[in-house]
């Protein structure tokens, strides 16, 4: 994997030294988790990478100067009166996007983040997980190459965690480089390719988490003569074919997409005949 970001000899002092001479390479397409005790400097490191905070010494260099970095803070701002769609539109306009570019981009993001049906609802009424998604969509308006996430799952309930985890997994599969601070072991094991642990003002250790085996789901379904065009809109289908008189549908889908896909099939009047888990080799 090619190096995307090179961090060299980074030192940050506020009133006291947070870390010193910290060096790190971030590879293209990797998911890098940053762990460490409270106050070890995880958020500070992300903010320096995002260009929000200046290091006291040291450099952060993107190997490709056109690399776009999106940053999502732990907490979404309070008192936003806009709807999700309006908010993203205004943020995009401030960053210089045209109205038509934004409309397409925002529709696609709302769909990818499973918030299409919430587009006209006020963000003030959103749950923490939904606000976290809006923050991520805001960071991805630019089609960023790197996404920096500060505690993306903190304070979310189990459903919201699973939903966000499957979105992160898909973004990573699409080639996005993701750096995230995290206390959640499940997210570390499922998403992170590598983990660094901050402590004693430095990178104390680094490891590759034990991966759970990934699996696909094979679905066999009776189409009941339904039109299947709606399947074109669904992410996560690895392959599909119709057999018999066209009434038997065989699909291979990603695990992260299987629940959503099954629900959609049933909603379209298609009956599930069998499900089989298949481990990735």
Ligand X SMILES: Nc1ncnc2c1ncn2[C@@H]1O[C@H](COP(=O)(O)OP(=O)(O)OP(=O)(O)O)[C@@H](O)[C@H]1O
| Chain residues that interact with ligand X, rule: CB under 6 A | 14, 18, 36, 38-44
Decide whether 60 or 221 has the Cβ nearer to ligand X: 60
Would you say 109 or 198 has its CB closer to ligand X? 198
* 151 or 163: CB nearest ligand X: 151
Orientation of helix 158-173 relative to helix 255-267, angle to 10°: 110
Site of tokens 């993701």? 178
Of 115 and 192, CB closest to ligand X:
192
What does the alpha-carbon distance between residue 85 and residue 138 come to, in Å, rounded to a whole number?
10
Q: Please state the closest distance from residue 44 (CB atom) to ligand X, in A.
A: 3
Q: Give least dist CB 153 to ligand X, A.
A: 13
Least distance to ligand X from the beta carbon of 51, Å? Answer: 15
Please name the residues in contact with 170: beta carbons below 8 A apart, sequence gap of 6 or more.
Answer: 112, 235, 236, 254, 256, 257
Angle 84-94/99-112 helices, nearest 10 degrees? 130
Is-contact 49 184, C-beta < 8 A? no
Task: Report in angstroms how near the CB of residue 54 gets to ligand X at its nearest.
Answer: 11
**How far apart, in whole angstroms, are the C-alpha atoms of residue 195 and residue 184?**
12
CB of 219 to ligand X, least distance (A): 41
18 vs 146 by CB, closer to ligand X? 18
Query: Helix (H, G, I), strand (E, B), or coil: what is residue 146?
Result: strand
Which DSSP helix (H) or strand (E) runs through 206?
A: strand 202-207
């Amino acid at each position: 994997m090619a190096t995307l970001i090179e961090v060299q000899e980074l030192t940050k002092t506020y009133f006291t030294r947070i870390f010193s001479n910290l060096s790190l390479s971030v590879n293209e397409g990797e998911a890098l988790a940053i762990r460490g005790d409270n106050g070890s400097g995880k958020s500070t490191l992300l903010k320096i990478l995002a260009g929000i905070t200046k290091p006291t010494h040291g450099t952060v260099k993107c190997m490709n100067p056109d690399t776009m970095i999106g940053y999502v803070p732990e907490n979404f701002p309070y008192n936003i009166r806009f709807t999700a769609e309006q908010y993203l539109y205004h943020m995009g306009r401030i960053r210089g996007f045209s109205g038509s570019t934004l409309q397409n981009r925002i529709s696609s993001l709302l769909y990818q983040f499973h918030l299409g049906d919430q587009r006209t609802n006020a963000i003030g009424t959103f749950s923490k997980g939904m606000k976290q998604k809006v923050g991520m969509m805001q960071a991805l308006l630019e089609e960023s190459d790197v996404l920096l996430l500060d505690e993306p799952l903190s304070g979310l309930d189990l459903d919201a965690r699973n939903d966000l985890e499957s979105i992160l997994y898909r973004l990573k599969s699409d080639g996005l480089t993701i750096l995230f601070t995290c206390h959640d072991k499940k997210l570390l094991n499922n998403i992170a390719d590598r983990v660094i642990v901050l402590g004693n003002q430095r990178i104390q250790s680094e490891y590759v988490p034990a991966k759970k085996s990934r699996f696909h789901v094979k679905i066999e379904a009776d189409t009941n003569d339904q039109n299947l065009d709606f399947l074109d809109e669904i992410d996560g289908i690895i392959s599909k074919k119709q057999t018999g008189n066209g009434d038997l549908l065989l699909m291979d889908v990603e695990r992260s997409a299987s629940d959503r896909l099954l629900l959609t099939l049933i909603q379209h009047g298609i009956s599930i005949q069998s499900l089989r888990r298949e481990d990735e080799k």
